Structure 1
Amino acid sequence: MMVLAGCSSGEEAGGPAASPPSPSAQSSQSAESARLRAALLPVPKGMSIAYGPELGAFGSLKSIQQGLAAIRQAKLQRPECAGAAQLDAAQPDVAAAPAAVIAFSAARGSITQAVVAMPAETFPQTLPKQCASYTAEVSGTRVTYKTKALDMPAKGDQSRAYLTTAAGGEKNAQIGSVMIRRGTLIMSMLVVGQRVKQQGLFELARLADQNLARVTR
């Protein structure tokens, strides 16, 4: 066990105060934030903004923190499947990456989109076979998740889409997920509703990729 001793009255607590970011660093951060925000989708027809846009380090964003908390509270049959095929905000390089997140909602469902500027070109692994079907206990309800890969037309440098059916409790739901990479930018999108139409998901992916292409030119 490591014990940190307190400072006596004659000692300084730590070193000198950190210097504020230089104007050039602030300008660079502002430019990156503007680029990430520009990559987000506009409000889809019939929906409204439920959250955001929020900008900052990916792992510090409110929606990401809530997602991590939900995963910690759920009891999964296969814990390794919680964030499979998604950006893992528990990884230091992912958590620290600049990001922008926005969410839209309507009576029929919701859309959550994140755009993350990774330090290098990387892309999540495909969904492991054992994660195609598993169960979890969520708030006392047993939920069965079944996921299949979708044959989405290729987008960006790399892309992938899945459709997950969650069955359990009074309401069943479907979750469409899309991941697209252009250069070091990764776009992640989750579409949730009682029924997620494949063509509608692909159209959202097309629009999201258009935005990525525009900001990565």
Structure 2
Amino acid sequence: MAHRILPLVLLSTAVAATACGGDAERAGQVRGTARAEVAGIGYTSDQLAQALLQEPPGYRRAGEPDSGEYGSLKAIQNAARLQRGTTLDKPRCGSGRPGGDVAGDVPAALVSFVNGTGQTATETLMGMSAADAEKQVNARVPTGCLKFRTKVGTKWAEHQVSEAPKGDIGEGSRTVGVTTISGSARTRTWYVVFKGRHYLATVTVFGPNATRADAERLARDALTQAHRVLP
């Protein structure tokens, strides 16, 4: 199964999910490790977990990191379940597209944080070939999907997307923001996708006052940490 990286429909919820482990997690780690060795990616889920941000300034960790196959991570599974129960007014915007999918069995690790105002930040590291990572960095939101609506139950929400030109974090990056209005509540999500040697990373911030600057600062911190740990 392939998964879109933080589907637009699910940005506001996937980033808030925290991870916990157990036997299922360990089984995912074993499978993720095997796939890394076969594919020659170079990094196992255990190595990626060690390279995650520890406690970025202004944030505290929300739960234990999760690692294993990408599709086995709790946050990704929760996002997929929510997507199945979400109505999208532009169905094509919720489907996969070339360069926008991640195989469910790639090695991965994820950690979430929260700050004093309740804003959340999430980092995900995925073992990936340079070619596949390049596709993710080069992917763009279709023009017709920059505005859309979603419905969960009987409640509609409006979303507006902004996307920056390709950036220079790591070996190339992309930054996307989503403003969501639901009733009287307005929230913002910013996510940064960047690639490194044999891995792809996403850093996401979510909250009423989330900013692009904060997301990109955390992405640069994540890059520094990855360089420090991964050979």
Give the TM-score range, shorter chain: 0.7 to 0.9
1:145 pairs with 2:154? no
1:28-39 equivalences in 2 (<5 Å):
32-39=44-51
Query: Distance in 2 between the 1:139 and 1:174 partners?
Result: 21
1:188 pairs with 2:198? no
Deviates more, 1:53-62 or 1:114-123: 114-123
Which has the larger Rg? 1
1:155 maps to a residue whose letter is I
Shift of 1:151: 5.0
Query: Distance in 2 between the 1:159 and 1:118 partners?
Result: 15
Query: Distance in 1 between the 2:179 and 2:228 partners?
Result: 33
Cα displacement string for residues 24-83 of structure 1 (whole angstroms, at most 9, x for unaligned residues): 97xx79x72342023211222343222331110000111100011111111001233337
Select the structure with the greater relative contact order (CA < 8 A; seq sep ≥ 6).
Answer: 2
* Counterpart secondary structure, 2:63: strand
Shift of 1:195: 1.6
1:118 pairs with 2:128? yes
* Counterpart secondary structure, 2:62: strand
Query: Distance in 1 between the 2:104 and 2:91 partners?
Result: 20
Unpaired segments ≥5 residues, structure 1: 1-20
Q: TM-score, normalised by structure 1?
A: 0.76
Q: Please tell me whether the aligned partners of residues 204 and 215 of structure 2 are also in contact (alpha carbons under 8 angstroms).
A: no
The percentage of counterpart residues that share the same residue type is: 24
1:164-183 equivalences in 2 (<5 Å):
164-183=178-197
2:215 maps to a residue whose letter is L
Unpaired segments ≥5 residues, structure 2: 1-29
1:28-177 equivalences in 2 (<5 Å):
32-82=44-94, 88=101, 94-106=103-115, 107-119=117-129, 121-122=131-132, 123-124=135-136, 125-151=139-165, 153-177=167-191
Query: Distance in 2 between the 1:203 and 1:118 partners?
Result: 23
Query: Distance in 1 between the 2:205 and 2:55 partners?
Result: 14
* Counterpart secondary structure, 2:111: strand
Q: 1:199 aligns with which of 210, 213, 217?
A: 213
CA RMSD of aligned residues (A): 2.7
1:2-41 equivalences in 2 (<5 Å):
32-41=44-53
Deviates more, 1:206-215 or 1:70-79: 206-215
2:111 maps to a residue whose letter is I
- How many pairs align? 188
Q: TM-score, normalised by structure 2?
A: 0.71
* Counterpart secondary structure, 1:121: helix
* Counterpart secondary structure, 2:203: strand
Q: Please tell me whether the aligned partners of residues 45 and 69 of structure 2 are also in contact (alpha carbons under 8 angstroms).
A: no
* Aligned counterpart, 1:3: none
Deviates more, 1:72-81 or 1:46-55: 46-55
Shift of 1:98: 0.6
Query: Distance in 1 between the 2:76 and 2:112 partners?
Result: 12
Deviates more, 1:157-166 or 1:192-201: 192-201
